[in-house]
Amino acid sequence: MNILVTGASSGFGNLMVADLIKAGHRVAGTVRDPRGRNKEAAQILRNLGVEVVDIDVTDDASVEAGVAAAEATLGQIDVLVNNAGAGAHGLQENFSGDDFQRVFDVNVFGVQRMIRAVLPKMRARQSGLILNVTSLLGRVTVPFLGPYNAAKWAVEALSENYRWELSQFGVDVAVIEPGGFPTNFFNNLIQPSSRDRDASYGEFAGAPEAMLQSMGESLSNNPLQVPQIVSDAVLEVIHTAPGQRQFRNEVDKSGMADPVIPMNVQAEKATEVLFTAYGMEGMMKLKTNVANAA
């Protein structure tokens, strides 16, 4: 298959593209400014066999041009993996509207931009897979990660809507829900542009830093919580036949997924009841065809 992965230069994305290449897929990976500040990372990807495309998911024109370049190289895009994302950390009250805009521009609006760019041709072919990397923090919240929690909850909802609206066009949608992992995610968290509310919080203003340190230590000390299992989950979904893929796929060895899994099962049952009541149950089943089966 021909697969486009956003945020390919580091973290989960870097593992994904390497594993997809090994599995025999043709892969395009997005990198911001691959001829400048990310030149070295882009070359490493090329050495793996990845087609590097320059995409800034926060920019409409960049997304349109980058997707067109990927299509020109690959021929068509069978799978889009929306992996690019940005974390945020701090007292939620400290984050301004512009701060929230910055977080959502990458994590939510960037996902929408990418999906809109690839969907017309997928719908025309009546085949394709949209795979969004969300988070278990899109199902439950952890304090001091407020804007990130909100963004990932939004992507979960966005993904559900696309699942229903695209099911009759043969385009499949699924989400990967990782827990916390010891990656460079913790080194690139968006901070509030101002901490002017700290004083009124007193000693509690130091709680975000304490939480982050504790979480980082816990994840680093867990030998099972390795980023590779996220890439493995992505490949498993991609290699599952259309119409048989699980919508929500929890990936975690820290115990965080344990309470979320039954929530996800119940959400699926509740949706089935609701859709049946309104005569929309057919939208829960992907319409597969010859193109899908191939």
Q: Which residues are catalytic?
A: 148
Tokens matching residue 113: 């931009």
Region for 118 from its dihedrals, namely left if φ exceeds 0, alpha if ψ lies in -120 to 50, beta otherwise: alpha
Looking at residue 107, what DSSP letter applies?
A: I
Report how far apart, in Å, the C-alpha atoms of 276 and of each of 162, 168, 273, 283 are.
18, 16, 5, 10
Sheet of strand 2-5, all strands in order from the earlier edge strand to the far edge:
51-54, 26-31, 2-5, 79-82, 128-133, 171-178, 248-251
Could you tell me if 188 and 87 are in contact, meaning their C-beta atoms sit under 8 angstroms apart? yes
Report how far apart, in Å, the C-alpha atoms of 238 and of each of 16, 36, 131, 217, 246 are.
11, 32, 8, 32, 11
Q: How many whole angstroms separate alpha carbon 220 and alpha carbon 151?
A: 25
Report how far apart, in Å, the C-alpha atoms of 155 and of each of 53, 131, 161, 265 are.
24, 11, 10, 18
Bridge partners of 53, per DSSP, are 30
Could you tell me if 54 and 28 are in contact, meaning their C-beta atoms sit under 8 angstroms apart? no
Q: How many whole angstroms separate alpha carbon 85 and alpha carbon 185?
A: 9
